[in-house]
Structure 1
Amino acid sequence: MSLTEHLQELRRRVIISLLAIVVGTIFGFVWYQWAPGPVMPLGEIIRRPYCSLPEELRADLTSDGACRLIATTPFEMFMLRLKVGFLAGLVVSSPVWLQQIWAFITPGLHKNERRWTLSFVTFAVTLFVAGALIAYFIVDQGLYVLMSIGQEYQIAALSGQQYYNFVLALIVIFGVSFEVPLVIIMLNLAGLLRYEQVKDKRRIIIVVLFIFAAFITPGQDPFSMIVLALSLCLLVEMAFQFCRIHDKRNAKRNNEWASLDDDEASGPIAAPAPIGAATGVAGASPISGAGAVAAPTLISNGGGTQRTAEDRSIRARASAPNFFDDVL
C-alpha cells in the first residue's frame, strides 16, 4: 500500500472507533440513571462503597434518610454523569476500537510477532481488570479508615466529584500497577533480565514496592497501601518464578557455551601443536623460447648520430598533420 492508502485506512479505522465510543458514551449516560431488570444503574454501582459505610460516618442531608452525595456547583451532576458515561462507553466499546487497532497493525507483523502481541495484550487486559476489581471491593475499607479519623468532631459530606475522582483514581492506579509483572516477564523474554540478577534482592524489592504503594495510593490510607503492596509482592514473585523456569529451559536448549559471558572461555585451551619443518621450494621450470627478435637496423645520419628504423618511422608518423585525431 502507498502512504496515501495507509492514511486513508487509518482515517477509516479512527472514524469507526470514534463512532463506537460515541455510541458507548450514550449507552453509559443512560445506564448511569436507568437499568433494566435486576441490573443496577451505573451511578448506584459507583455509589455503593460509600453507602456501605456506617450511617454515623455519613452526613444525612435528606429528609428520607437516603444515601446521597452532594453537588456544590450547578453543572456538577451533569458533568459527572457525562464523565462516568464516557468512561463506561470507552470500556463497553473497547472490543470495537481494539479490533480496529489490531487490524491496522497486524499486516506489518510476522506470524510469531502476532502471536506474542496477542498474548501480551490479553495478559495485560486481564491484569488490569483484576487490579480494578480488587480496588473496587476495598475502596469502602479505605474510606472507612479515612472517614473514621476524628469522627467525634467532624462528619464527612462528600461531593460526587470528589468521591468519584477518588474511586476512579484508585481503580486506575491498581489496574496500572498490576502491569508490573508483565514488564518483568517482557524484560526476561528479551534477554535483558535474568533470574540470577534478582533472586538475591527480594528484600530490597519488597521495600521498594511498599514505598511505591505508599506514594501512589490516592488517599494514602494504610489499608489500600497494604493491599496494593502485598498484591504487587505476590505478582512480582510469580513473575520471578516465570523467569527462573524460562532461564532453566533456555539453558537446556542452548549449548553450554551459550550462557557464558563474552570474555569468559568456554573450556581449557589445547596446547599448540609443533610447526613442521619447512619444505624446499621446487626449481623453476624453463620458459619456452620465444622467437628471435630482429636486431634493429642502424641507419647512419649525416651528423654522425644513429637511430633505429622504428624510431625514424615513429617520428615520421608524428609529423603527419592528423596524427593526434584519435586522441582528441
Structure 2
Amino acid sequence: MNTQETTLYEENVRLRARLNRSEHHARENERMLVEQERMLAAAKREIEAKNAEIARLRAQLGAAAVERECRETLIQSIVNAVPAVIWAKDRDGRHILTNKAFEEFHRAPGGCVGKTDYDLFPASMADEMRAVDRKVFAADALVEVEETLPRDGIVASYQTSKFPIRNAQGETCALGAIAIDITERKRAEAERAALQAQVIEAQRAVLRELSTPLIPLSPNVILLPLIGAMDVERADQATATLLRGIEQHRAKFAILDVTGVKNIDAPVADALIRAARSARLIGARVILTGIQPRMAEVLARLGIDLKGIVTLGTLQAGIAYAIRS
C-alpha cells in the first residue's frame, strides 16, 4: 500500500470514528429527549393533579365560607329578634357581636363592632364594666350584676348576665352578655312597696285607734281605757288621743284607766304622767284609775309627783267622781 492509499485509509478511519461518535451523541440526545418528555409528562400530570386539588379546596372553602356566612346571618337574625341587649367581646374588650337592641341603645346602627366600652361609655363606667369582664375570665363562669345606665335622659336599670365563650378547643376566648331592662319592674316594685307601706301604716293607725279608744261618757267627761302591753310609742299615742278628745269634746274631766295594762316600766309610766299633766294645761282634770301594785311601785320609785291628778282604785270610782264633780 503506497503512501496515498495509506493516507486515504487513515482519513476514512477518522471519518468513521467521527461518524460513530456523532451517532452515539445522537442516540444519547434522543434518549435524553425521551426522558425529558417523560419527566415533562409526569410534571404535567402532577400539576394537573395539584390544580384539581386546589380547585377542590377552593370549592370546599367557598362552601365553608357560604355556610359560615349563613350561620352568622342566622345567629345575627336570632339575636336581633331578642328585645334584650346582647353583645360579645374578645379578651381585649373589643365588641365582636352586637344585636339591634345594643345598637339602638347606643344610637349607632352597625357601628359598635370593634369598639370597646371606653368608646361607648364614660371612663368610670367603662372601668366598672371591665372589672366585671375580668371576673368572668378569672372565674370562667357566669357573673350576674345589676347596672344603672343612662338612657334617653333617664337612669335605666339592667340585670346583666355575663358568661364565658369557648372555642372548639374548649379555651375561653371571649365573653357573651345579655342585659334585660328592669327599669319598669323596679318602678313597679317601688310603687308596690310604697303602697304596702301606706297600707301597713293605715292598719297601724286603725290598730292604734282601736287600742286607745276614746269614749265620751257625758258632755264634760271622756274615758280613755288602756288595755294590754304598753310601750313608749303606744303611750305617746294615748297622749295624743287624750288631748285630741279633750279639745274635741271640751271635756272638763278625762279618765285614764290603766286597769287592763299588763305591765308597765319606767319610760311608759313617765309618758302616762306627762299625758295627765298635758291635759291639765288645756283645762281638763285627769282621773287616773285602776293603778295596780306594780305600777304604784314604779311611780313611787321614780318619785313622780301626782299632785293635781286624782287617783282612784277602780274605773267605777273614777266615773262616779267625775259625775259628782
Q: TM-score range by the shorter chain?
A: under 0.3
Name the structure with the higher helix share: 1
Q: TM-score, normalised by structure 1?
A: 0.18
> What TM-score results when the alignment is normalised by the length of structure 2?
0.18
Bigger proportion of residues as strand: 2
**Which structure carries more relative contact order (alpha carbon 8 Å, separation 6+)?**
1
